[in-house]
Structure 1
């Protein structure tokens, strides 16, 4: 958790600076959805796996954080970091593979943030690591 805390501000800054189609997709992912049925929408919209957060009235602290796997909410708590760690634990415990569209994201967290098998880096992850430590 300390590693994630350490890198989160710089990582968000790098992601927000992206342009083009990738930048638009990242901005859509980072957008906060404010609706009464946000949890149900998250369960419906997250097809493979993911973490959703619900914030109301511009609060910094999320009202609800949950983990969805294959459209079913499996866990919820009040912390994004704990939600991420629990998602990673579920991936390992249930022997799930990383989703194809999030392969590099999970690989980055595994190899850079968690320092697991970090000596074998993909080119995309290596470039992000350079930007992160710059």
Structure 2
């Protein structure tokens, strides 16, 4: 992978072939460790170490902001309140619980519609019946509560790109990070409806290409340092 990196970057950036074609050529990118190595080749940054360090540093303030918003009225407040209610009902509140809650709550807080990206199914066969899906996370659960906005003990969460389940992971937070890494490594455009959430990950958590932020993200960044 190290040797073929220049050729791969030229192919990805200049030719923009379908993702399936790229992953057939370099199937190692489906492996979590190889994807992180590829990200480091591109950015000179350790993706999981930097992401989790920055996310964990901001977790207390993010949870406070979510609760403040949830105490108000409106659709965004109601949606956040439901996520936080389920979070508070968990028997365990370790770091993985919060790393699951925040990726679900952040796009809601930023008023983004995640219905097309965060999907839930109860049967692995349902996961394969994908219509045209550019980018999504499919969470497979063992119960039948598909209406719940967040699940803390899924069977697995699959990263789906161009209607293909590329990789599956046990935790939602890990799947979210791998999804971001694949979008970056494969030089894909951010899904329009999730742009602020992914730019928050890129520019605020990872400090990559930290140019001008949208007003919504600039406000959130200011709120985080208050």
**1:3 matched to 2:54:** yes
C-alpha RMSD of matched pairs (Å): 3.7
Q: Is the 8 A contact 1:68 1:74 kept in 2?
A: yes
- Secondary structure of 2:187's counterpart equals coil
The match for 2:212 among 103, 120, 128 is 120
Aligned to 2:148: none
Please show how residues 52-67 of structure 1 align to structure 2 within 5 Å. 52-56=138-142, 60-67=152-159
Provide structure 1 residue ranges, at least 5 long, that are not aligned to the other structure. none
Q: Distance in 1 between matches of 2:132 and 2:217?
A: 24
Q: Is the 8 A contact 1:50 1:69 kept in 2?
A: yes
Cα-to-partner distance string for 1:59-80 (whole Å, 9 max, x where unaligned): 8443312211233311101133
Q: Distance in 2 between matches of 1:25 and 1:38?
A: 27
Provide structure 2 residue ranges, at least 5 long, that are not aligned to the other structure. 1-51, 84-103, 106-117, 144-150
Cα-to-partner distance string for 1:32-61 (whole Å, 9 max, x where unaligned): 98763277359748833122334556x844
Larger radius of gyration: 2
Q: Distance in 2 between matches of 1:95 and 1:7?
A: 27
The match for 1:68 among 154, 160, 164 is 160
